[in-house]
Amino acid sequence: MYQRSRVHGETAMTLCCGLRSFFQFFKTPVYHQQTKPRTLRHVYFRSLASASSLSDSVELFGKLYPRDDYTNVTPKILSKVGKNLHNQKYHPLWLIKERIKDHFYKQYIGRFGNPLFSVYDNMCPVVTIEQNFDSLLIPFDHASRKKGDNYYLTCNHMLRAHTSAHQRDLVRSGLDAFLVAGDVYRRDEIDSSHYPVFHQMEGVRLFSNHELFANVPDGEDLQLFEKSPRTPQKQETHTLEAVKLVEFNLKQTLGKLMTRLFGGGGAHEKIGWAFGLGLERLAMILYNIPDIRLFWSKDERFLKQFRVSHIDQEVTFQPLSKYPPLINDISFWLPSQGYSENDFYDLVRSIGGDLVEKVSLFDQFTHPNATYILPADYLHCLVWICMQLFFFPSRTEKLSHCYRITYRHMERTLTQEEVRVLHKALEITAEQELGVVGRY
């Protein structure tokens, strides 16, 4: 027979703390004992502690960036900076970049017979917030500025999220036709087509009044801007004629480039518009590369397929033997605030690296409100409350996520023990770093 009971808070908390310590003693994993041999998890946690105590700054290209509340770049991402895959000869990304560059060099010639477009493919990936956002007129409250989507070194510096971060500086230097290629960084989901580091190539072409209307009948009477004043709140408005000509020029430019890369053809009796030069996406389509992680592979079986005598030589990627995946699930209660899925993805990448092929949110569960009936006996009541607090902390209306993680090595078969060690390290670190409560 049970009835509602009132428990004195101070006494209950004292007993609760004692029981928590008692149960925690038995809950402590065996691998913390120093008598056990070292495993990967020992090394991982020791390296985490060492990294946090060694420096309170991030060092890149010989420059120190003092950590602050915005710093969220991870050692795994820092290890990718400066690799410049797009500049490594015979790498598939290098082939794509060179084909685009060659097309613009040959297709667009300047007044004196020189290439009209100049190419910049070795610019520093560390940029200011002002370069990455403000120079492109991205509002302060725009979603693209979120910490959850970018890698910040400090509140003022970041790893560029797009090559457009260099546009204004190049235009101010006097350039009006250029291509920019480079590695860019974004926090993203984990699957075969997404990676936190990828490569972009974009073009910029500016026209003067004379250049735009030179071949248009009565072009000398046309203007780039309407006759309206510029104010701090409003810039001049381009004329409809100027906008249409620039639109047509862009469509021609991209159409010729796609024909150069993929050959003729098209979607007949349909209309559409598309823009964006992600080098990985182009290479995956052009060479039938199935997994974006392959671009970072050092396996000769992959790289030798792209050692061609000419950049336009046709390449059909021959897949490496597909090693079997190992799949593990992880589920946990989310903290009341401050949790971001991209934080979890970053944690998975930091621990599992390129062994993780895919992470998907497999299930969500919200614990319903509950009314508890307490035992009438005072001692049993205290024990019951402490058990609830320890084994089911803050269950009411808590949200639980369950993620399915697919592990697969690109060059060999993974063992269950390797994955078990990684997965256990992920469970422990998720609780420590993200404030979640495991359900495993």
Mean pLDDT of 344-360: 95
Residue 331 has pLDDT above 80, yes or no: yes
Question: End-to-end alpha-carbon separation of the chain, Å?
Answer: 33
Q: Where are the alpha helices (DSSP H) in 288-340?
A: 300-303
Banded pLDDT at 217 (limits 50, 70, 90): confident
CATH, domain range 77-265+272-306: 3.30.930.10
Is the pLDDT assigned to residue 3 strictly greater than 60? no
The C-alpha angle 247, 178, 259, rounded to 5 degrees, equals: 55
What's the rounded Cα separation, in Å, for the pair 98 and 179? 12
Buried b (16+ CB within 10 A) or exposed e, 381-395: bbebbbeebeeeeeb
Evaluate if residue 221 carries a pLDDT over 90.
Answer: no
Q: What is the mean pLDDT of residues 364-373?
A: 68
Tell me the average pLDDT across 59-72. Answer: 95
CA distance 175 to 206: 8
pLDDT at 7 over 60: no
Window from 91-100, 314-323, 411-420 with minimum mean pLDDT: 314-323
Question: Tens digit of pLDDT for each residue in 282-301?
Answer: 999 999 999 999 999 999 99
What is residue 308's predicted lDDT score, i.e. its pLDDT? Answer: 94
Task: Write down the domain spans for the chain.
Answer: 9-24+321-438, 77-265+272-306
Q: What would the mean pLDDT of 135-147 be, rounded to a whole number?
A: 93
Task: Please name the residues in contact with 412: beta carbons below 8 A apart, sequence gap of 6 or more.
Answer: 323
Looking at residue 417, its pLDDT comes to: 95
How far, in Å, CA of 119 to CA of 98, rounded?
10
Per-residue pLDDT, averaged over 76-83, amounts to 96
* Residue 29 reports pLDDT greater than 60: no
Instruction: Using pLDDT thresholds of 50, 70 and 90, give the confidence band for residue 246.
Output: confident
Query: Is the pLDDT higher at 237 or at 299?
Result: 299
pLDDT class of 53 with cuts at 50, 70, 90: very low
User: Do residues 40 and 422 touch, judged by C-beta distance below 8 A?
Assistant: yes
User: Between these two residues, 207 and 98, which has the higher pLDDT value?
Assistant: 98
State the fold for domain 9-24+321-438. Answer: Alpha-Beta Plaits (3.30.70)
* pLDDT recorded at residue 232: 58
Residue 342 to residue 333: CA distance in whole angstroms: 16
Q: Around Cβ 405, how many Cβ atoms within 10 Å?
A: 24
Q: What share of the chain in percent tops pLDDT 90?
A: 58
The Cβ-side half-sphere exposure at 44, using a 13 Å CA radius, reads 20
Q: Residue 18's pLDDT is what?
A: 41
What mean pLDDT is predicted for residues 64-90? Answer: 96
CB atoms within 10 A of CB 112: 5
pLDDT for res 365: 86
Cα distances from 216 to residues 17, 168, 267, 296, in angstroms, run 83, 29, 30, 48
Higher-confidence residue of 434 and 385: namely 434
Q: How far, in Å, CA of 298 to CA of 425, rounded?
A: 26
Residue range 183-216, pLDDT digits in tens: 999 999 999 999 999 999 999 988 888 888 888 8
Q: Among residues of the chain, what percentage have pLDDT more than 70?
A: 76
Dist. CA 179–CA 131, nearest whole Å: 17
Is residue 199 classed as helix, strand or coil in its secondary structure? Answer: strand
Poorest-pLDDT segment among 32-36, 92-96, 296-300: 32-36
Three-state DSSP class for residue 150:
coil
Strand 197-205: give its sheet, edge to edge.
118-120, 177-185, 197-205
Residue 105: per-residue pLDDT: 95
Average pLDDT over every residue of 45-54 = 40
Residue 317, CA distances (Å) to 112, 283, 305, 306 in order:
40, 10, 7, 8
Closest CA to 160 of 127, 197, 206: 127
Task: Give the separation between CA 370 and CA 252, rounded to whole angstroms.
Answer: 64
Cβ-in-10-Å burial (0-12, 13-18, 19+) of 52 comes to: exposed
Query: 213 or 368: whose pLDDT is higher?
Result: 213
Residue 270 pLDDT more than 90? no
36 — pLDDT class (breaks 50, 70, 90): very low
Which of the four pLDDT bands, split at 50, 70 and 90, describes residue 4? very low
Range with the lowest mean pLDDT among 57-71, 250-264, 343-357, 359-373? 359-373
Tell me phi and psi for residue 75, to 5 degrees.
-55, -35
Q: What is the pLDDT of residue 214?
A: 83
Q: What is the mean pLDDT of the chain?
A: 81
pLDDT for residue 332 is more than 90: yes
